[in-house]
Structure 1
Amino acid sequence: MYNPQLQPQRQRTAERTSPQDSTGAQERIGNEQIRELLRAYGLRTSLIRLKVIDALHSADRSGRSIGVRGVHAQLEQLDIPLSFLSVREVLKRLCTEGVISLGDDKCYSLQPAARAVLEQNALR
C-alpha cells in the first residue's frame, strides 16, 4: 500500500552524500561532457560510446593513443562486459563521424575538435 509519508524520507535519503557519492558525481560530470560531445556530432548517447570515448580521452590526457585491443582491455579492467567486436564497431563509427581518427599505427585518438569540445565543457 502507498504511504505518502514515506516519500519525503526517500528524498532526504537520496539527497545525502557520502565520500563514495562524490566519486560518482565526478563520473557523471565526465559523462555529461561526453554526452555534449556526442550531441555536437549528432550522435546518440549509449553506454558503450560513453565508455569508449572516456577510455580514449584518458589515453589522450596521458599523451598516448590506443588501439582496439587497448580500449577493450581498459574496459575489461573496469568490469564493463563489452565484446571486442562491439568496441571495434563503435571505434569505426566514431572514426566515420569524425570524432576520432585512426593513425598509421592502428591506434585511435580524439580529433582536435572533439578534444576542444570536451575541454570546453570541462571548464563550465
Structure 2
Amino acid sequence: MYNSQLPTDGNSAPNGSLNLDAGAFTKNAERHNNERIRQLLKSFGLRTSLIRLKVIDALLTAAESDRPQGVRGVHSHLLDLDIPLSFLSVREVLKRLCSEGVVVLNDDKSYSLHPQAAAVLYGSQ
C-alpha cells in the first residue's frame, strides 16, 4: 500500500519546506504558561478548567502591565481575545478563586493573585 508521507527516493524527510511560523512558538509559550497555572490550581486543590486558566492568565497579564483589573476589566480582556465567556461566569470564577485563596479582592475592587499563589506560580516558596 502506498503511503505519501514515506519517502520513496531514499531521503529521510519528505520533500517540501517545513511550515514553521511564529504562531507555533507562541502556542508553545502559552502551553508552558498554562502548565504553570495548572500546577498552581493543583497546589490549591482545584481542578483545571479553561475558564480558570483564562481568568488567571488575564490577571497575570494585568499585573505585568501594572493595571489592576476588576471583573469588568477581566471580562473585557477575555472578550478582546475572542474568548466568549459571560460576565457572570467570570465573576463566579473570580469569587471561587477568592474563596480558595488563589486570588484576593483588593480595596479598589480589583483582583490580584494572593502572595502565596504568586510564590507557587513563580517558584519562590
Q: TM-score, normalised by structure 1?
A: 0.82
Aligned pairs, how many?
116
1:70: how far off?
0.2
Q: What SS class does the counterpart of residue 52 from structure 1 fall into? A: helix
Query: Deviation digits for residues 13-66 of structure 1, max 9, x if unmatched?
Result: 9xx743221110000000000000000000000000000000111112223321
Q: What SS class does the counterpart of residue 123 from structure 2 fall into? A: helix
**In 2, distance between residues paired with 1:74 and 1:55?**
7
Classify 1:8/1:120 alpha carbon distance in 2 versus 1 (closer, same or farther; 3 Å). Answer: farther
Higher relative contact order (CA 8 A, sep 6+): 1
Structure-2 residue corresponding to 1:107? 110
Structure-2 residue corresponding to 1:53? 56
Amino acid at match of 1:30: N
Classify 1:6/1:34 alpha carbon distance in 2 versus 1 (closer, same or farther; 3 Å). Answer: farther
**In 1, distance between residues paired with 2:5 and 2:71?**
46
**In 2, distance between residues paired with 1:97 and 1:4?**
56
Amino acid at match of 2:93: V
Q: Which 4+ stretches in 1 moved above 3 angstroms?
A: 3-9
Structure-1 residue corresponding to 2:31? 28
**In 1, distance between residues paired with 2:73 and 2:111?**
10
Task: In structure 2, list runs of 5 or more residues that go unmatched.
Answer: 8-12
Bigger Rg, which one:
2
Q: TM-score, normalised by structure 2?
A: 0.82
Query: Deviation digits for residues 59-94 of structure 1, max 9, x if unmatched?
Result: 122233210000000000000000000000000000
Structure-2 residue corresponding to 1:79? 82
Higher helix content, 1 or 2: 1
Is residue 42 of structure 2 the alignment partner of residue 39 of structure 1?
A: yes
Identity %: 59
Q: What SS class does the counterpart of residue 104 from structure 2 fall into? A: strand
